[in-house]
Amino acid sequence: MIPRYTSADMGALRTEQARFEAMLEVELCVLEAQGAIGMVPKSAAPAVRKKAKINVKRINAIEKRTNHDVIAFIESIEEQVPQYGRYLHFGLTSSDVLDTALGYLMKQATLILIDDLKTFNKALASQARKHRKTLTIGRTHGVHAEPTTFGMKLAVFYDEFKRHEQRLKDALVEISVGSISGAVGTFASLPPNIERAVCRKLGIKPAPIATQVIQRERHAAYLNTIALIGASLEKLAVEIRHLQRSEVREAEEPFGKGQKGSSAMPHKKNPITCERVTGLSRVLRGNAMAALENVALWHERDISHSSVERVILPDSTIILNNMLRSMTRIMSGLVVHKDRMKANLNSTGGVVYSGQVLLALMKQGLTRTKAYEMVQRCALKAWHENGELIDMLVDDEEIGKYLSPEELKKILDPKNHLKHIDTIFKRVGL
């Protein structure tokens, strides 16, 4: 992933240095476990741990000859500890080291993402509570529907992202696994207790069964979870982008001091961060599809998944990390224009309360079809003549037979749409 979208903490897990250090830690844990049961000298592990260092340049130089990065890595360590070099990688196959190191790193990356998601949801919850009773117009098909509140809009997202928190926690369990079971996974060259000891030290769990590789449906499920979280972030970003349009102008992402919106038009304040989130979510979905393609490998192993994962796994965690932190900043500093919300709510002359009038007429004994026809007549007249619905309803002789002007005013009171807001918020834990 390019540096533009890479944070320091997530990026530190995704360097070649970090990858080889994780591989070395796996090898060291194996040596320690083997030493404990006499498979190798007990002195091997502490000696290697003390002297072995990762030198990426040296590994890359060796790989030019071997055309095998794991062998190059092992040879580079052997050079540093010639007395114990022959015990390195004893009874292992490359995937033991690669997949176990991957599980170790993926756990650390996912813990960062879980913290990011919790922080984002706190910012979302704060804005939802703040605007719990801030009336605004609800839109269906992009057209004014009925009043809602801006807080309720955000509460819907809060509830969605709480579900994502659980999904990501479940994905953490599924991805935090290792396998030290040798070629084709039969433990023919080392006993299963080595695997248990290694995984315990690394803070992950052994895969119950593996071939030569850990099965890739785990990784596909993980990246689909990440893509799903990205899709919800995109949904929120698109909502803000719509609300920031000049014709709407109800909310906008923060615009910093000294920030510039356009090279040509000084007046511009564009939703660039929300647009970036929208774009990056597309990359996450593409990566999730690539992960699905990795599930079907030949027999007990091939490496068609390897090249793909070198790109999609680091990039997806880096991208989601960037998206979550970007949206946290937006939600924390979100600019909300209550005056514009009120103006837009009132801009159609009260026709958005037509549904309440419909129900009131039905309560008077009218059929839905008849009541609908009567209210629609008044609503369309108000719409086309830029008038007020209340005036059209009061002037309508047929409606006057059932509802008085005083009753109509009560029916058209926007506060009617607030009466159950507190109950809704309690249902989602806000």
Residue of 369, 374, 362, 360 lying closest to 408 (CA atoms): 360
Confidence of residue 258 (pLDDT cuts 50, 70, 90): confident
Do residues 411 and 353 make contact, with C-beta atoms less than 8 angstroms apart? yes
Rounded Cα gap, residues 196 and 207, in angstroms: 10
Query: What is the residue type of 389?
Result: L
The pLDDT assigned to 262 comes to 66
Cα–Cα distances (Å) from 383 to 90, 97, 408, in that order, read 80, 69, 18
Average pLDDT over residues 143-155: 96
Q: What CATH number should be reported for the domain whose range is 1-90?
A: 1.10.275.10
The angle, 0 to 180 degrees and rounded to 10, between the axes of the packed helices 16-36 and 192-202 is 130
Burial class from Cβ neighbours inside 10 Å (0-12, 13-18, 19+) for residue 316 reads buried
Element (H, E) at 38: none
- CATH fold of 91-252+261-336, please? Fumarase C; Chain A, domain 2 (1.20.200)
The angle, 0 to 180 degrees and rounded to 10, between the axes of the packed helices 69-80 and 56-66 is 120
Do residues 220 and 294 make contact, with C-beta atoms less than 8 angstroms apart? yes
Residue of 328, 379, 323, 386 lying closest to 355 (CA atoms): 379
Total-model pTM = 0.94
Average pLDDT, the chain: 95
Residue 295 pLDDT > 70? yes
Residue 1 pLDDT > 80? no
From-to residues of CATH 1.20.200.10 in the chain? 91-252+261-336
Rounded Cα gap, residues 323 and 230, in angstroms: 8
Grouping H, G, I as helix, E, B as strand and the rest as coil, residue 220 is helix
Token pair in block for residue 313: 């796994």
Q: 135-140 and 143-149: which strand pairing?
A: antiparallel
Q: 251-252 and 177-178: which strand pairing?
A: unpaired
User: Radius of gyration over alpha carbons of the chain, in Å?
Assistant: 30
Residue 265 pLDDT > 90? no
The pLDDT assigned to 256 comes to 75
Side-chain-side CA neighbours of residue 39 (13 Å) = 20
From-to residues of CATH 1.10.40.30 in the chain? 351-411
- CATH fold of 351-411, please? Ribonucleotide Reductase Protein R1; domain 1 (1.10.40)
From-to residues of CATH 1.10.275.10 in the chain? 1-90
Do residues 243 and 182 make contact, with C-beta atoms less than 8 angstroms apart? no
Residue 13 pLDDT > 70? yes
Tell me what percent of the residues of the chain surpass a pLDDT of 70: 100
Three-state SS string over 403-426 comes to: CCHHHHHHHCCHHHHHCCHHHHHH
The pLDDT assigned to 255 comes to 79
Residue 322 pLDDT > 80? yes
Do residues 84 and 47 make contact, with C-beta atoms less than 8 angstroms apart? yes
Residues 6+ apart with CB under 8 A from 70: 23, 94, 97, 98
Residues 6+ apart with CB under 8 A from 328: 116, 119, 120, 123
Confidence of residue 259 (pLDDT cuts 50, 70, 90): confident
Distant-in-sequence contacts of 13-20, Cβ < 8 A, 24+ apart = 13/105, 13/108, 13/109, 13/112, 13/317, 14/109, 14/314, 14/317, 14/318, 16/56, 17/54, 17/56, 18/105, 19/101, 19/105, 20/54, 20/56, 20/59, 20/73
Residue 220 pLDDT > 70? yes
Region of 185 on the Ramachandran plot (φ > 0 left; ψ -120 to 50 alpha; else beta): left
Rounded Cα gap, residues 253 and 247, in angstroms: 16
Do residues 426 and 132 make contact, with C-beta atoms less than 8 angstroms apart? no
Element (H, E) at 144: strand 143-149
- Residues classed as catalytic: 141, 262
Query: What is the residue type of 250?
Result: E
Residue of 20, 43, 45 lying closest to 31 (CA atoms): 45
- 78-119: per-residue pLDDT in tens? 999 999 989 999 999 999 999 999 999 999 999 999 999 999
Residue of 186, 175, 177 lying closest to 211 (CA atoms): 186
Flag the least confident range among 140-154, 230-244, 248-262.
248-262
